């Protein structure tokens, strides 16, 4: 279990655990996701 008050989200625990018991999922910020979606939609329209 992770202590949310002490966790900094640095990911060191995922590299230090000898049993590979931890994994960290990195999510893109919403603004990046939206920008990529707009670019993809624009490219899709150009390909038509």
Locate the domains of the chain by residue range: 12-47
What distance in Å separates the CA atoms of residue 11 and residue 25, rounded to the nearest whole number?
Answer: 10
At residue 27, the pLDDT reads 78
**In 3-state terms, what secondary structure has residue 20?**
coil
pTM for the predicted model, two decimal places: 0.42
Query: Comparing 5-9, 23-27, 37-41, which segment has the lowest mean pLDDT?
Result: 23-27
Q: Which residues of 4-43 are buried (b: 16+ CB within 10 A; e: fewer)?
A: eeeeeeeeeeeeeeeeeeeeeeeeeeeeeeeeeeeeeeee
Q: In this predicted model, what pLDDT tens digit does every residue of 9-28 receive, in sequence order?
A: 888 888 888 888 877 777 78
């Amino acid at each position: 279990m992770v202590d949310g008050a002490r966790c900094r989200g640095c990911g060191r625990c995922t590299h230090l655990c000898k049993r590979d018991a931890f994994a960290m999922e990195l999510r893109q910020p919403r603004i990046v996701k939206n920008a990529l979606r707009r670019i993809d939609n624009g490219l899709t329209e150009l390909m038509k």
